[in-house]
Chain A
């Protein structure tokens, strides 16, 4: 499993997140959680996402896909 998911689980304060978990079902996926995820992606992947980018994102798998696409681009 990509280490991205364990980092995400840490921020969301759960044991693990699946590729297809629904992000909006995590209590910690609030403005603070979103900001923490944005900061983690910035420091680990050098990709700067905005909360607007995340509006369309429903799952951890979708998020990782977006990060890798931005990194590649």
Chain B
């Protein structure tokens, strides 16, 4: 499905990372693999260190910390928000919505629309699409899009498939109306028949958590995880990405009437270096135009990886410069979605540590 938006822009991006860092060489002591094979994995996938929350820190704690920073620095006025979208798969509760939790903690005004979206790796693009749709309303001029996840709390430390790549983080992206500027193009696709490739099987209403769902099982490939844990079918996800993403980008660029060469940056979701380089090869995109350094520095925090890639790689440049940027998210659902937009100059663009 294609989307076109006019007179809208991203005006600021802040990434919030937990200060606690863990190293892959320490993680690998928990894996049931030889040291040589784990080091090979580190090299191929580009694993090195990742940022994880400690104790009972929730995703909303990171987001609230980020908002307070923006308010304190006078980069954002609390009363200027007409909408708050929270994209997460690690909500504080089943009910109420975590967007309402954040709105309440920050003391934002009542006259606004708060919305939770359950999305993962495609959550930045899906969230932007939702934010732009809201901005079509006369009464909505500025929306805060929050992407946040602390999925490390759901991953087994004995699962070499998922643990080394997982990261926790949050981002706050401010989206608002603007006069003129180039149209923004986007597309999205969904395939719920392949939903089991990435899932947390237990803990919802279909399979409530119980002592049985907490038992670590050898799942047949030397990885141990429980039904309460996140599970990922690595090769199914790899194939999904290699098959579906290149034609999606081709179709997005055709919709926009742009060539691969005209795009300054391909800011894609960051599953690992390996997968992104294979995508570059397929799409004939030079590696230097598609940063793939987020997993090695911070880990993969699902929907937060694109804002992290933008703020880490472009940072202060975005205060003054502007780039034609192609975004793409792909993962849980399965969902794959992309967007082409001119990004910058931004009012703010940076990264902070929590706490």
Contact = CB atoms under 8 A, between A and B. Distances in A.
Give the bracket for the number of chain B residues in contact with chain A.
20 to 34
Nearest to A30: B37
A38 B235 contact: yes
B41 interface: yes
B239 A30 contact: no
B23 interface: no
A3 B157 CA distance: 39
A38 B243 CA distance: 13
Contacts, number: 50
A52 to B, nearest CB: 8
Interface in B209-254: 221-223, 233-236, 238-239, 242-243
Contacts of A39: 238, 242, 274, 278
Contacts of B242: 39, 42, 48
Given A30-B37, A42-B278, A35 B222 contact: no
B243 A36 contact: no
A51 B44 contact: no
Interface residues of A, number: 17
Interface string A3-31: 00000000001000000000000011011
A64 B282 CA distance: 22
B284 interface: no
A48 B37 contact: no
B281 interface: yes
Interface of A: 13, 27-28, 30-32, 34-36, 38-39, 42-43, 48-51
26 contacts: A13-B40, A27-B34, A28-B40, A30-B33, A30-B222, A31-B160, A31-B161, A31-B223, A32-B44, A35-B234, A35-B238, A35-B274, A38-B235, A38-B238, A39-B242, A39-B274, A39-B278, A42-B278, A43-B278, A43-B281, A48-B239, A48-B242, A48-B243, A51-B233, A51-B234, A51-B235
